[in-house]
Amino acid sequence: MRCPFCDKDNTRVVDSRPVEETNSIRRRRMCDSCGKRFTTYERVEAIPLVIIKKDQSREQYDRGKIEAGIMRACYKRPIPVEKIEECIDAIESEIFNLEDREVESTKVGELVMEHLKELDAVAYVRFASVYREFKDVNTFMDELKKFLK
């Protein structure tokens, strides 16, 4: 990026922080030629993401839904909220990194399970039991055994 003071293309970012209200990133830049600093704002483009449900109906992607599912699975588990948030962030960035406009809900479910597996065993099994709709105790036990191996 060109320096607005000396017009040399010799600048670097010295600090970046998100601005929540405007969904943008504020960057402090410094010019290595003249030493002056300036600020730029980068807008994060909102990518409309659609989730394809099992019955093929579509709905707008909603982070809150993933959050609710994970919170339920982590209920009363000794997991810091911070860790849960990190887990949701990781899942969300994987979803967006797929770079598809439409993502199957099953794909989202698999991603959540993958991450929960690393986070907490009980939370994982809880989520899997709801998500996979275990019909009976045997299928549930099979899944549990697979996980414990």
Task: Give the binding site for Zn ion (CB under 5 A).
Answer: 3, 5-6, 31, 33-34
> What separation in angstroms does the CA of 60 have from each of 13, 43, 49, 81, 126?
35, 21, 6, 26, 25
Tokens 């980068």 appear where?
Answer: 42
Closest CB to Zn ion among residues 34, 79: 34
CB of 12 to Zn ion, least distance (A): 11
Taking the C-alpha atoms of residue 52 and residue 67, their distance in angstroms, rounded to an integer, is 18
CB of 100 to Zn ion, least distance (A): 41
Closest CB to Zn ion among residues 31, 119: 31
Closest CB to Zn ion among residues 3, 73: 3
CB of 1 to Zn ion, least distance (A): 11
Taking the C-alpha atoms of residue 60 and residue 48, their distance in angstroms, rounded to an integer, is 8
Q: Are strands 11-19 and 24-31 parallel, antiparallel or unpaired?
A: antiparallel
Closest CB to Zn ion among residues 34, 144: 34
CB of 34 to Zn ion, least distance (A): 3
